[in-house]
Structures are given as C-alpha cells and as structure tokens.
Amino acid sequence: MQITTLQVTGMNCSHCENAVTAALKDIGVAEVRASAKNSTVDINFDPNLLGLDNIKAEIAEAGYNVV
C-alpha cells in the first residue's frame, strides 16, 4: 500500500469532501481523508491496482483540481 497526500483546490465544504471521498472509493482507493479546510486529500491505495494518474483524473472528473 502507498500513502500519499494530494493538494486539491475547489473543495469548500463537507459536501465537496464527501464527493471526492465517494469518487475515490468507487475506483478502489482503500482509505480517503479529504479536508476542505486544508485543501488536501490523504489517500492509501495499492499502486499495483491503481496509478496516481488514475486517482488524479478521478478527482478532476468529480470537479476538483489537483495541484
């Protein structure tokens, strides 16, 4: 497993945090902790199953920007 923190802009509230969390859980991320306050998403994922590019693309598809 790999633990990574991504800077994500556009999250303003708990609904945004939930949207990002749900999107990443749907593609198989093991653990997600999104923080609108800190503009971060902490993820724990298996790099053999998911690439970081896939994760970033999913966040973008949900309407948020990975910096």
Q: Encode the chain (67 residues) as per-residue pLDDT tens digits.
A: 999 999 999 999 999 999 999 999 999 999 999 999 999 999 999 999 999 999 999 999 999 999 9
Task: Note the pTM of the prediction, 2 decimals.
Answer: 0.89
- Return the axis-axis angle of helices 52-61 and 14-26, rounded to nearest 10°: 130
4-16: string of b/e by CB count within 10 Å (b at 16+)? eebebeebeeeeb
**Burial class for 29, CB neighbours closer than 10 Å (0-12, 13-18, 19+):** buried
Tell me the domains of the chain and their CATH numbers.
2-66 (3.30.70.100)
Which of 51, 53, 45 is CA-nearest to residue 4?
45
